[in-house]
Structure 1
């Protein structure tokens, strides 16, 4: 892909497992020094692992300042931390709506806000937000989650407009259903996990779950100086689910 992060410092939220871990490993492989923020950062493959709660502004600001001090600045921010939710619009109480939005949406704003002074000093500043296919396609039993990821997508566009003149590119990656521990836990809760997995795979036009490595590759491109003219973009990594309407096979 031609991505080279030599000399750059990246922060990846939710970077201790799942998509975040794959993203952190990908950036490090191409030369970045990576700080992982997670509520449970133990075992993270990173140059610096920090216990940060993205719903706590003091925790976020302390984590950002620690990264800047110990790694010498911040060039790249990947806002990946997020939580899931199931059910239709009536399934969750107000407290759960507030909790999910606090992590998935306001968490992006908190970390970005704290990182902006450091990003403004970088010659290769980039923010990549993790949105979802749920932001661009109506999925059953995902009302709250879809609403939060739709907000991330809109926030990405607004941030891209606000910070372009400061030399900060802002993009999003929209994964399809990915083969992550969170999806694995959902499958384990199903009455027939094998049938549920087959249904999720069939829902994506290429017939399988998206790999974490594929999402990480997309994030690496969007974060890389090689994508210097790319901003305000939501890159779908979903096997064609967002835009394709294929005839049934057979």
Structure 2
């Protein structure tokens, strides 16, 4: 980020610890005075092998890393960010999923629940935040070559896919759009936003 003209401040936080999450936003207020954007994407989906199958054969431990971390942490972060975002009429973006042709996402009940729950959460938060000038929506990325996914799949990593910068460019486009409120409550595909705003995946 610094190389591109920004200023990154890395903070280690356990999203399963509500007090630790609250402390992050207290620090943001103290050091930065407010918040223009929250891009929430905490998940621990790769903590266990992500292989689809019948729901009765999947480890129940997936509930913890996908629902407790993957969904609940979005809500907790949004809860603490809301007052800061309302002061600046900011933007809240979460990672959801939209694919009308997908019966069960990745053939995995817990992953399906987590992704669709975040999309529904975006609609609810948009409803509550809209009167305060804050837009909340969810982004649906394609297959993204994150460090965690690359490490988890190793030699099984399929060709192609999106770079981690591609959804980042979508978030930036939304932030710079004065008419972003039209996306409130929606789950929008990164690829669709790329066409709408005219950006590309850098690689």
Q: Same fold (TM over 0.5)?
A: yes
Q: Which residue pairs with 2:59 in the alignment?
A: 93
| Aligned match of 2:169 | 217
Q: Does 1:147 align with 2:100?
A: no
Tell me the alpha carbon deviations over residues 90-140 of structure 1, each in whole angstroms, 9 at most, x when there is no partner.
3433333133211111000101101111111114x1100012357972344
1:238/1:224 Cα in 2 relative to 1: closer, same or farther (>3 Å)? closer
Contact 1:134 1:149 in 2 (8 A): no
Tell me the distance in 2 between the aligned counterparts of 1:60 and 1:135.
34
Aligned length: 185
Which shifted more, 179-188 or 225-234?
225-234
Normalised by the size of structure 1, how large is the TM-score? 0.66
Q: Give the TM-score, by structure 2 length.
A: 0.79
Alignment partner of 1:233 is 2:186? yes
CA distance 1:140–1:173, shift in 2 (3 Å):
closer
Which of the pair is proportionally richer in helix?
2
Structure 2, unaligned runs of 5 or more:
193-203
Query: Taking structure 1 as reference, are residues 92 and 155 closer, same or farther at Cα in structure 2, changes over 3 Å only?
Result: same
Runs of 4+ in structure 1 deviating by more than 4 angstroms, as ranges, are 28-31, 133-136
The structure 1 residue matched to 2:79, chosen from 102, 113, 127, is 113
Aligned pair in 2 of structure 1 residues 73, 211: CA closer, same or farther (>3 Å)? Answer: same
Q: By how many angstroms is 1:29 displaced?
A: 5.0
**Partner residue in 1 for 2:200:** none
Residue aligned with 1:232, SS: coil
Report the RMSD for the aligned CA atoms in angstroms. Answer: 2.6
* Cα distance change of structure 1 residues 174 and 101 upon mapping to structure 2, 3 Å threshold: same
Counterpart in the other structure of 2:148: 182
Instruction: Please state which structure has a larger fraction of its residues in strand.
Output: 1
Match of 2:196 in 1: none
| 2:93 aligned residue (112, 115, 128) | 128
Residues 7-49 of structure 1, C-alpha deviations (whole Å, 9 max, x = no match)? xxxxxxxxxxxxxxxxxx49x9586x6xxxxxxxxxxxx1x22
SS of residue matched to 2:74? helix
Q: 1:172 aligns with which of 118, 131, 138?
A: 138
Equivalent residue in structure 1 for 2:19, among 35, 58, 61: 58
